[in-house]
Copies of this chain bind each other. A is one copy, B any other.
Amino acid sequence: MESKKVTVMQKLLKANDAIAAEIRGSLKAKKIFFINLMSSPGSGKTTLIEETVKRLGKKIKVIEGDIQTTLDAERLQKLGVQAFQINTGPFGGDCHLESAWIRAAIDELGMEDVDYLFVENIGNLVCPAEFDVGAHLNVLLISVTEGEDKPLKYPLAFQVSQLCLVTKTDFLPLKNFSLKKLRENIKKVNPACAVIEISAHSGSGLESWIEIVKNRPGIG
């Protein structure tokens, strides 16, 4: 039973990866930089997109993943950004986004006159890391209130990401939390991962983030 489950999963992941590669290539050809944001629930993904839109302008489209509700898409539409909401609830409450759904959302949104595509993945530090969505940059958000041990406990999410944003730094200093240890733990599971500390409330660190987005690594 267990080996059958693994085989089915491998087939699913292979199909997912093929579509992801196709998305990555097609958006690169159109000079659209695609960023996938992953994190636990409530680490600040939507707030980060809001702050990014304010600084980058309107040539951004966003695909929002949630099990239920269109709350996040509505927040972004208020800023004049076109946002498409994928609700996985009807599919049994799926805990991640798959590349085929991203492709369908891209077709629905249209990609004319767009410089940046953001995907806000389902709030989950486990499953989204297994499914490549075709992004040029995978970004993992972790808030300081979640604790310094998370990279060790959820290594895959940190390993598939090229950039880690440590969010909500306005809460620092915190009892039983060391930023230094968090950085060490990220390095242990993914030495190549860049780390930036940010606070959407104070604005601290957001310039460095915007700089990276504007540099469009891998796309130009």
A contact set with B: CB distance below 8 Å: 2, 6, 8-9, 40-42, 66-69, 71, 91-93, 95, 122-127, 130, 143, 145-147, 149-150, 152-156, 168, 171, 175, 201
Copies in the complex: 2
Closest B residue, CB atoms, query A189: B68
Determine the distance from Cα of A155 to Cα of B95 in the docked complex, in whole angstroms.
Answer: 13
Contact B2 A93 (CB under 8 A): no
Contact A126 B42 (CB under 8 A): no
Determine the distance from Cα of A191 to Cα of B41 in the docked complex, in whole angstroms.
Answer: 22
A124 touches which of B9, B95, B149, B201 (Cβ 8 Å): B95
Determine the distance from Cα of A181 to Cα of B2 in the docked complex, in whole angstroms.
Answer: 43
A152: chain B residues within 8 A (beta carbon): 68-69, 71
**Whole-angstrom distance from the CB of A19 to the nearest CB of chain B?**
14
A146 touches which of B41, B130, B171 (Cβ 8 Å): B41
Contact B130 A67 (CB under 8 A): no
A126: chain B residues within 8 A (beta carbon): 67, 93, 95, 122, 124, 127
Determine the distance from Cα of A2 to Cα of B12 in the docked complex, in whole angstroms.
Answer: 11
Contact A69 B153 (CB under 8 A): yes
